[in-house]
Structure 1
Amino acid sequence: MTHLRIRPAARDDLDTVLAFWKTAAEGTSISDDRDGVERLVALDPEALILAEQAGELLGTVIAGFDGWRCHLYRLAVHPERRRQGIGSALLAAAEERFVRLGGRRADAMVLVRNATAHHAWSAAGYDPEEHWRRWVKPLTD
């Protein structure tokens, strides 16, 4: 088996990432378009982390740091490649990035209805904080 390669996304990867999310991510976001992902990579070139094997995209995570908190989004692994350590490798890379940047606590955006993801996040050491509720307001139509 070929070695798993973890690396930041480049602009040339963005269409592949968007297509991958349609297969591997649970649900879609208002930001799941070329402009949104292009802005992310332009603003923080190391935030979108990819896992590849033999040139095939197998997983992604967005590891955003705003100088105060560390935020994880779009942890997605190809459905046929789950439970093989790819998600763990992506989270390890994200957490290493956060520590390097001075981050002290990470939170993850996880859909309430995604029970499979709840188990994965729990196995990775993340606990739900039930006393917090996230309020969301779209900033565009």
Structure 2
Amino acid sequence: MSDLRIRPAAPADAAAVLAFWRVAAEGTSISDDEAGVARLIGTDPGALLLAERDGTLTGTVIAGFDGWRCHLYRLAVHPSARRQGVATALLAAAEERFTALGGRRGDAMVLERNERAQHAWQSAGYAREEQWRRWTKPLATG
């Protein structure tokens, strides 16, 4: 996987990341717009990690650390690059980031219906916790 480059996203990457997620990610988020991605990058410049091969975006993961917990979101790999170690490399980079920041445990948001993702997370050593449920409340309209 020596031709794979992992790097933090820059503000100029926002449009390309959104286009990539439309092809490679499952589900959408209230923050799926250029302002949301720019806010993420501005708030935590190292959180959005990009995997590139020959300058082409092949994968993403958001590795957010709030000082208390390590949260993983948007692990996405382009369909043509799946099962080639891209997700493994992204998760290794995210886990290195968390360790450097003092994080102790990573958790991942995975859609219940996305069985392929559930298998990928399990293969990466993550385990489902049945006792937890996500509770949400939109804070903005639109």
Does TM-score exceed 0.5, indicating one fold? yes
Task: String of CA shifts for 1:15-55, please: whole Å, max 9, x gaps.
Answer: 10000000000011111100111000000100000000101
- Give the unaligned 5+ runs of structure 1: none
Deviation (angstroms), 1:80: 1.1
Distance 1:138 1:79 in 2: 31
Deviation (angstroms), 1:129: 0.2
Tell me what 1:78 maps to. Answer: 78
**Aligned residue type for 2:91:** L
**Aligned residue type for 2:103:** G
Tell me what 2:110 maps to. Answer: 110
Task: String of CA shifts for 1:61-83, please: whole Å, max 9, x gaps.
Answer: 00000000000000000011100
Deviation (angstroms), 1:12: 1.1
- Give the unaligned 5+ runs of structure 2: none
Tell me what 1:130 maps to. Answer: 130
Tell me what 1:45 maps to. Answer: 45
Task: String of CA shifts for 1:72-106, please: whole Å, max 9, x gaps.
Answer: 00000001110000000000000000000000011
Percent of pairs identical after alignment? 71
Q: Give the superposed CA RMSD.
A: 1.0
Deviation (angstroms), 1:138: 1.1
Distance 1:135 1:10 in 2: 30
Deviation (angstroms), 1:9: 0.4
**Aligned residue type for 1:12:** A
Matches within 5 A, 1:59-98: 59-98=59-98
Deviation (angstroms), 1:2: 6.6
Tell me what 2:12 maps to. Answer: 12
Aligned length: 141
